[in-house]
Structure 1
Amino acid sequence: MTQVVGILGGMGPAAGADFVRLFVDACAQHMRAAGEPVRDQSFPEHWLAQVPVPDRSGALERTGEGAHQPLEPMLQALGRLAALGSRAVAIACNTAHAWHATLQQRFPQIELLHVAREVAAHLSARGETQVALMATEGTYRVRLYEQALADSGLPCHLPTAEERRMLMRGIYEGVKAGDLPLAEALFSEVALRLSQRHGDVAIVMGCTEVPLGLQGAAAVHGLKLVDPARVLASALAERAYARA
């Protein structure tokens, strides 16, 4: 018997929709690993809440009015997922995890997965020793991954200020604006620079738009790219198939 799980999306909508695909893939992999046939009826009940949420990085840059604007719509969406019976929920946005503690405190009956902690555990289990991070300014500002990786004994290499600006352009002017060639060019350049500086490093694509912009990019072939959304989707599938 499976458990009901939820996905908090809308940040942006393309990333939320893609997370559902990753979750379904993870469920199919779980069934195959258990030696069970992959059938429609064996997939767990899961709900996607796609809600408009104010820009997370922009909110984190403010300390006064507007600093907590993203919180209210996320709380409302999490409440709907709770009402639908979700036992575990994944947030399909890295930067939104800046509000993870408050969201978890308000809904203690739900296990709210933490993407950076899941990724740190995944990389540690893989035996990685060096990590680099491609993310939003908001994610860097709250040290979301740096802290989780440090807790697992993993150092985290960060892009330069110029490279961070390239990432933000790729996210906003690229993926979010529908210009995927621009996103691919900017993201590839940053990933290649990180690899050149730090060698055989696991590069965490710590924004859900980054994998969307790098899908099939020939320039980064051979680099160790880590998709947190895929790791998080697998963790959510594990919760869905856990015995109640």
Structure 2
Amino acid sequence: MQVVGILGGMGPAAGADFVRLFVQSCIEHMQASGVTVSDQRFPEHWLAQVPIPDRTQALEDDASGAQQPLEPMLQALGRLAGLGARCVAMPCNTAHAWHSRLQARFPQLDVLHIANEMAQQLALQRIPAAALMATDGTYRSGVYEQALQRAGVQCHLPTAAERARIMQGIYDGVKAGNMPLAQLCFGEVAQAMAERHGGAPLILGCTEIPLALDGAAQMVGLRSFNPAQVLAKTLAQRAYAAA
């Protein structure tokens, strides 16, 4: 099996949850392959939980320096490469604004692109449009809009007030440990966007959002996709590709 890596720490709870998603994806892969699930049949995988400067702030505030998160991400990728990883996933959606530079520095690694994986999944299911919930940095970078456009999927964006509510849920909610606030903020925006766009599925394009919305009453009747889950499945497929 192929050694794989996970570049986390953006934030740590999201990185830890991604490991859960990856392990579950490995179990599903083994079951689909008719293989008995056992500890010894999980691929070698490494999680790098590295303190990395805020990605949205770096993209929005020139004073913070747009390159600020890049160096620690490069250092973490180097460590994962040194541990034998051949494919790496970054659960943080906003961090993909630096994807091309990370991939260029480590051409020996297959650095998966979360927006591309999500867009391909929507295209396979013939979904014509989706509503994106994400950070201001992700909207600014345009990584999802570009990926969805290439896949022929229309991307609906939130209003300015809804974006502010999402950011409140991320920073004052999940990152501050206030899950009830996060659930309230995200739930309001999810319901508003789904109603406005005719029930179009929601892309939960920040790893903190599913942490608060999974199983929430506000999501009853709403269709949503967790890009981290899609990414985890792809990483598992890459890990078993050599088997």
Structure 2-normalised TM-score?
0.98
The answer to whether the 8 Å contact 1:130/1:200 transfers is no
Aligned residue number for residue 5 of structure 1: 4
CA RMSD of aligned residues (A): 0.9
Tell me how far 1:162 sits from its aligned partner: 0.1
The answer to whether the 8 Å contact 2:58/2:64 transfers is no
Residues paired across the two proteins, number: 243
* d(CA) in 1 for partners of 2:103, 2:62: 22
* d(CA) in 2 for partners of 1:77, 1:109: 15
Query: What SS is found at the alignment partner of 1:132?
Result: strand
Aligned residue number for residue 73 of structure 1: 72
Tell me how far 1:65 sits from its aligned partner: 5.3
Amino acid at match of 1:174: G
Change (3 A) 1:97 1:38: same
The alignment-based identity, stated in percent, is 63
Aligned residue number for residue 105 of structure 1: 104
Aligned residue number for residue 42 of structure 2: 43
Q: Which 10-residue stretch deviates more, 49-58 or 219-228? A: 219-228
Query: What SS is found at the alignment partner of 2:15?
Result: helix
The answer to whether the 8 Å contact 1:171/1:183 transfers is yes
**What do the CA deviations read for 1:10-68 (whole angstroms, capped 9, x no partner)?**
00000000000000000000000001111100000000000000000000013355221
The answer to whether the 8 Å contact 2:59/2:140 transfers is yes
The answer to whether the 8 Å contact 1:3/1:86 transfers is yes
Aligned residue number for residue 205 of structure 1: 204
* d(CA) in 2 for partners of 1:188, 1:195: 11
Amino acid at match of 1:195: A
Change (3 A) 1:168 1:65: closer
1:164 aligns with 2:185: no
Change (3 A) 1:64 1:174: closer
Query: What SS is found at the alignment partner of 2:62?
Result: coil
Can you give the 5+ residue segments of structure 2 that lack an aligned partner in the other structure?
A: none
* d(CA) in 2 for partners of 1:96, 1:65: 15
**What do the CA deviations read for 1:116-147 (whole angstroms, capped 9, x no partner)?**
00000011111211110000000000111000
The answer to whether the 8 Å contact 1:120/1:149 transfers is yes
Amino acid at match of 2:83: L
* d(CA) in 2 for partners of 1:133, 1:122: 15
Query: What SS is found at the alignment partner of 1:216?
Result: coil
Q: Which 10-residue stretch deviates more, 39-48 or 210-219? A: 210-219
Can you give the 5+ residue segments of structure 1 that lack an aligned partner in the other structure?
A: none
1:55 aligns with 2:54: yes
Aligned residue number for residue 14 of structure 2: 15
